[in-house]
């Protein structure tokens, strides 16, 4: 018997500290006007000293669990998408499992950078369709501020910290209609932190391991690729563009989001945008945006939602969801 996965609760958490464009003007050679015009970003949240990815993930998870109205011991799988784990190991998912007081169920991290939440949702969906999991906590959580070179204007104006979470419950009807995952590692050098534990531990230890991005090339690839994945997702479900009620995109740049919306012939009023207030929170950006639109009542039961993401790897993917 086929089972389906339905999102029954969402949660988001943003650190208290807000970093404005005006403050960035005092740190690097940039301007509020440039940042707004080229990215749509006006502010981003930054984790406090001593506040870690796990802390953000826990807050978002508790809010999602509350909305779902489930008991914590019903959770039988935890997946955390993150590029900025607190430790080399254990995984952030295992640390979260302990924080939440869950015991015994599988818990693991997924690393697909900005596409991480879509990857995690797809993995959860597969486990739930086979009946191997019935109640899954899926989280996207990042402290990207820790891998940013705050003297590099090409990257430091773009990113922020945050976490978003979703609780998925098994259902007899979908839920998640389909997921579509892709990657092409040939593009690794266009968006990366080139150092890591194995190849340059000293850089990591000395705090010299930072995001590097060929912004323009990433921009062009993102627009092209996201356009293709919209087609792929609609074709797989034999749906028309007009059947999609909400676009919940990865929040990297308002111009990339606008291009995808144009591809869907969708008015901006049907696109959930949080990039202005959150900046790019990588794996957290889609679940954070989803949570905002669920809580403010825009997304309603029965709506069809297209989530899509693109990021380092390159990785890209989508999920079509019946709310």
Pick one of 38, 146, 182, 295: the residue that binds ligand UT7 (CB under 6 A). 38
Pick one of 200, 204, 212, 215: the residue that binds ligand UT7 (CB under 6 A). 215
Q: How many Cβ atoms sit within 10 Å of the Cβ of residue 28? A: 15
- Is residue 182 involved in binding ligand UT7 (CB under 6 A)? no
Q: Which residues contact 268 (CB under 8 A, 6 or more apart)?
A: 258, 261
d(CA 94, CA 100): 10
Which sequence positions are flagged as catalytic? 114, 250, 280
Q: How far is the CB of 273 from ligand UT7 (least distance, A)?
A: 14
DSSP state of 264: T
By CB under 6 A, the residues from 68 to 127 that bind ligand UT7 are 114
Token pair 């959930």: residue:
272
- Is residue 286 involved in binding ligand UT7 (CB under 6 A)? no
Task: Determine the interface stretch with ligand UT7 among 14-22, 33-41, 194-202, 241-249 (rule: CB under 6 A).
Answer: 33-41
Binding mask 126-155 for ligand UT7 (x = CB under 6 A): ---------------------------xx-
Q: How far is the CB of 6 from ligand UT7 (least distance, A)?
A: 28
Q: Which residues contact 43 (CB under 8 A, 6 or more apart)?
A: 18, 19, 20, 21, 276, 277, 279
Could you tell me the CA-to-CA distances from 7 to 158, 179, 183, 317, 323 in Å, in that order?
29, 14, 25, 18, 7
d(CA 124, CA 169): 10
- Is residue 227 involved in binding ligand UT7 (CB under 6 A)? no
Residues that bind ligand UT7 (CB under 6 A): 30, 34-35, 38-39, 114, 153-154, 157, 215-216, 218-219, 222, 252-253, 256, 280, 310-311
């Amino acid at each position: 018997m086929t089972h389906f996965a339905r999102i029954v609760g969402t949660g988001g958490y943003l650190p208290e500290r807000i970093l404005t464009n005006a403050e960035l003007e005092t740190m690097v050679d940039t301007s509020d006007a440039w940042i707004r015009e080229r990215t749509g970003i006006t502010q981003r949240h930054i984790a406090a000293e001593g506040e870690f990815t796990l802390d953000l993930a826990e807050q978002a998870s508790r809010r999602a669990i509350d909305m779902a109205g489930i008991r914590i011991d019903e959770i039988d799988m935890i997946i955390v998408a993150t590029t900025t784990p607190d430790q080399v190991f254990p995984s952030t998912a295992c640390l979260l499992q302990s924080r939440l007081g869950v015991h015994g169920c599988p818990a693991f991290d997924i690393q697909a950078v900005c596409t991480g939440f879509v990857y995690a949702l797809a993995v959860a969906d597969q486990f739930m369709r086979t009946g191997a999991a019935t109640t899954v906590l899926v989280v996207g959580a990042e402290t990207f501020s820790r891998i940013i070179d705050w003297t590099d204007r090409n990257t430091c104006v773009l990113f922020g910290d945050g976490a978003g979470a979703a609780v998925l419950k098994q259902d007899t009807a979908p839920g998640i209609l389909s997921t579509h995952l892709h990657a092409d590692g040939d593009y690794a050098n266009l968006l990366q932190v080139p150092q890591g534990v194995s190849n340059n531990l000293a850089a990591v230890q000395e705090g010299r391991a930072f995001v590097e991005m060929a912004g323009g090339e990433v921009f062009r690839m993102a627009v092209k690729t996201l356009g293709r994945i919209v087609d792929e997702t609609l074709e797989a479900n034999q749906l028309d563009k007009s059947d999609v009620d909400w676009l919940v995109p990865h929040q990297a740049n308002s111009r990339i989001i606008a291009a995808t919306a144009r591809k869907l012939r969708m008015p901006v009023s049907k696109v959930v945008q949080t990039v202005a207030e959150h900046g790019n929170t990588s794996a957290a950006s889609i679940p954070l945006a989803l949570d905002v639109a669920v809580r403010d009542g825009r997304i309603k039961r029965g709506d069809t939602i297209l989530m899509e993401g693109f990021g380092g790897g390159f990785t890209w993917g989508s999920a079509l969801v019946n709310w």
